[in-house]
């Protein structure tokens, strides 16, 4: 294997490090490689390279040409790269609007996308005077009990919702968490009808959240934005008034992304 640079720490999981190095062998100048070539590049045994490639192939990260028996990057790499590209583009468009939301409401603002039936936080900002740091960039969370999750899930087909429930279940986080599929479907219908989602202390006790969907240029909803804070600053009787104002910021991001709907 090629030597490590002095400023690079030793890998904590050596087997994973080897697997990643195999992926890094592929490039635009060498889009297809054989086992022998990779073993020579990395100074690894061919059996080790073959096992790594076979594992990646089973997961869709690597494909083998049936005729030449050489390997190339698989479609799942493209899927992940699309997520990164779309996420970065969305973040760039959304961040100026999020700053306006922070100033208007004085609360923490989150931007999230759906991935594999969970939500992933792309960006979080909060007012400077907040003593508690609630930033969540890069974190994953359950989709059924978060505002950002329900704002996305509400516009998905029932079959998709049921598939996510089958995959992840409906784990309970607080006494308010929705844990029955029929109750979640009803909550999503209400969310879709009013145009915004509410997390009423369902993911974290004492925290309420309002979230709105974000559409891309085709109208697809795969992202959402939320404001969240202590429940005393989000009294239930004022949620709808706050949400009606907040919805306009979600629409602004959607239109900046190219959506031309209402």
Residues 246-259 pLDDT 10s: 999 999 999 998 88
What would the two tokens of residue 167 be? 């995959």
pLDDT of residue 260: 84
Tokens of 156: 């998905």
Going along the chain from its start, the domains and CATH numbers come out as 14-73 (1.10.10.10), 82-256 (3.30.450.40)
- What's the average pLDDT block by block, 10 residues per block, for the chain (262 residues)? 52 88 90 95 95 94 93 85 68 94 94 92 85 68 96 94 95 97 96 97 96 93 95 95 96 91 72
* CA-to-CA separations, 225 to 15, 152, 243, in angstroms, rounded: 38, 10, 12
Q: Which residue has the tokens 């697997």?
A: 19
Closest CA to 101 of 11, 221, 225, 254: 225
Tokens standing for residue 192:
């879709």
pTM above 0.85, yes or no: no
Which run of H or of E encompasses 49? helix 46-59
pLDDT for position 7: 56
Distance from the Cα of residue 205 to its chain's centroid = 23
Predicted pLDDT of residue 4: 43
Distances (CA, A) of 100 to 117, 140, 194, 197, 253: 29, 25, 23, 20, 11
Cβ-Cβ contacts under 8 Å for 216 (sequence gap 6 or more) = 86, 222, 223, 254, 257, 258, 259
């Amino acid at each position: 294997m090629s030597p490590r640079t002095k400023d690079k720490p030793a890998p904590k999981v050596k087997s994973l490090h080897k697997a990643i190095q195999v992926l890094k062998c592929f490039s635009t100048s060498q889009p297809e490689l054989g086992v022998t070539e990779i073993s020579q590049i990395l100074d690894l045994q061919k059996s080790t390279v073959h096992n790594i490639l076979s594992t990646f192939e089973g997961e869709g990260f690597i494909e083998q040409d049936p005729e030449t028996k050489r390997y190339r990057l698989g479609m799942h790499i493209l899927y992940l790269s699309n997520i990164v590209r779309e996420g970065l583009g969305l973040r760039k468009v959304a961040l100026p609007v999020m700053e306006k939301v922070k100033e208007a409401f004085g609360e923490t603002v989150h931007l999230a996308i759906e991935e594999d039936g969970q939500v992933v936080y792309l960006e979080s900002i909060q007012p400077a005077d907040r003593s508690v740091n609630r930033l969540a960039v890069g974190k994953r969370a359950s989709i059924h009990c978060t505002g950002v999750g329900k704002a996305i899930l509400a516009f998905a087909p029932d079959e998709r919702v049921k598939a996510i429930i089958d995959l992840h279940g409906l784990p309970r986080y607080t006494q308010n968490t929705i844990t029955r599929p029929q109750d979640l479907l009803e909550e999503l219908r209400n969310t879709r009808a009013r145009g915004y989602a509410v997390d009423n202390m369902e993911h974290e006790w004492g925290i309420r959240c309002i979230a709105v969907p974000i559409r891309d240029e085709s109208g697809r909803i795969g992202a959402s934005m939320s404001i969240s804070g202590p429940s005393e600053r989000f009294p239930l009787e004022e949620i709808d008034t706050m949400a009606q104002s907040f919805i306009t910021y979600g629409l602004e991001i959607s239109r900046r992304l190219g959506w031309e709907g209402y």
